[in-house]
Amino acid sequence: MTVYTASTTAPVNIAVSTLKYWGKRDKQLNLPTNSSISVTLAQDDLRTLTSVATSSEFPEDKLWLNGKEESLASERTQNCLKDLRNLRQELESKDDSLPKISNWKLHIVSENNFPTAAGLASSAAGFAALVVAIAKLYKLPQPTSEISKIARKGSGSACRSVFGGYVAWEMGEKEDGSDSKAVEVAPLSHWSNLKAAILVVSADKKDTPSTSGMQTTVQTSDLFQWRIKEVVPKRFEEMKKSILDKDFTKFADLTMKDSNSFHATCLDSYPPIFYLNDTSKKIIKLVHSINEFYGKTVAAYTFDAGPNAVIYYEDQNESKIFSFLYKLFSKVEGWESKYSQETLGAFEQQFDSIKEKIQFQLDDELYKGVNRIILTKVGDGPQDTKESLVNAEGYPKA
């Protein structure tokens, strides 16, 4: 039997939107109430690997996620598969030499390279990888922005994960969503020294899922109306400019303000939605204190729909920031895999050399609210890979 296969990796862009997507004008098509921007993170640290196979012999579409068979029944997934099959069918109808595989069933096998338990599993990476892998299997000629519209139907934020570097999701105006797509603001190479430290904050209970949370906000928050009409449109242009200018100060201020604005609309929702916990709030204060200490903006925080903090900084300021972060979080997992004992010792020395001048209180217990630190940086979009999760018969490798 003939089995066609393809594999791709896709980056995880969870918790790294710098201008937040929050609110839909169309639930079915995942059309947003505002444009948004995100930074794609390097895949050495956080990525999804997805392999797909198709054969005339497969009786049904099937999905295996991190070794477990999962349902493909959700309307969102079905919408993605339908769009991809339609594009393939178009190709087949124009070119007789192409194998007619658009009606064959698909096997999709997907794995994350980070523990799901870390609280970082994301539908964004999952849908981006799924859509890109099938687009590759079908040899679809559409540009990446077109493919992003399909990923958008899976999960709004997934549309930004099909590009690397700095990515905008233009909200569009049309009712059918044909102009609501991701575009590259700048490639990774344009501003490659941007780094991110993710503090994985322990959550005691499950957060409100973003899909329903944003629905509550749209329906009940007055502040939200102000945000989408007056705040975000201006900020969208300013943030794009700050990226093109590689103006960290501007980028950082906008990122922090937009994170705060998003969480303010959550609090203004009724009943209110709380994503930040006490640890998150202490991290916010810490970042402002560090910036104040150095007399300039060297670090920026952002939080998505959960308590995890992402702290952005430029490589040249790393020791400035890590003298504080290593002092406070040396006990949490994640440093040793990235830095030698010598470098870590240097962060400690740097802290000792400035500690007399520190005017603010450092909370020695802050690390207790943090599970691990992930040290990463801006990265590439989905990549071709020789690795495959499926065998010659198109089933998951044991």
- Contacts with ligand DP6 by CB under 6 A lie at 17, 20-22, 30, 36, 123-124, 155-157, 210-211, 304-305
- Whose CA is closest to 2, among 78, 144, 112, 104? 104
Beta strand 166-170 pairing with 181-186: antiparallel
- Give the number of other CB atoms < 10 A from CB of residue 165: 22
Q: Closest CB to ligand DP6 among 17 and 102? A: 17
Minimum CB distance to ligand DP6 smaller for 36 or for 77: 36
Nearer to ligand DP6, 227 or 320 (CB): 227
Please report how close the Cβ of residue 129 comes to ligand DP6 at its closest, in angstroms. 15
Q: Which is nearer to ligand DP6, 263 or 377 (CB)?
A: 263
Q: How far is the CB of 146 from ligand DP6 (least distance, A)?
A: 19
> Whole-angstrom Cα distance, residue 265 to residue 263?
5
- At closest approach, how far in Å is the CB of 99 from ligand DP6? 33
Closest approach, Cβ 31 to ligand DP6, in A, equals: 10
Query: Mind spelling out the 3-state secondary structure of 248-277?
Result: HHHHHHHHHHHHHHHHHHHHCCCCCCCCCC
Torsion sign across C-alpha atoms 333, 338, 339, 340: positive
For the CB of residue 29, give the shortest distance to ligand DP6 in the complex, in Å. 10
Residue 234: phi and psi, rounded to 5, are -70, -45
Is the alpha carbon torsion for 354, 356, 357, 359 positive or negative? positive
Let me know: does 7 contact 162? Beta carbons within 8 Å: no
Ranked by CB distance to ligand DP6, the top (closest) residue is 156
Cis-peptide into 271, omega within 30 deg: yes
What is the amino acid identity at position 337? S
Residue nearer to ligand DP6 on the CB measure, 232 or 325: 232
Nearer residue to ligand DP6 within complex by CB, 102 or 123: 123
Rg of the Cα trace of the chain? 22
Question: Which of 21, 251 has the CB closer to ligand DP6?
Answer: 21
Q: Work out how close the CB of 21 gets to ligand DP6 at its nearest, in angstroms, rounded to a whole number.
A: 3
Task: Please report how many Cα atoms fall inside a 13 Å half-sphere around the Cα of residue 163, on the Cβ side.
Answer: 27
CB of residue 321 vs ligand DP6: minimum separation in angstroms?
Answer: 24
CA-closest candidate to residue 157, choices 292, 30, 275: 30
Give residue for tokens 């093109």: 244
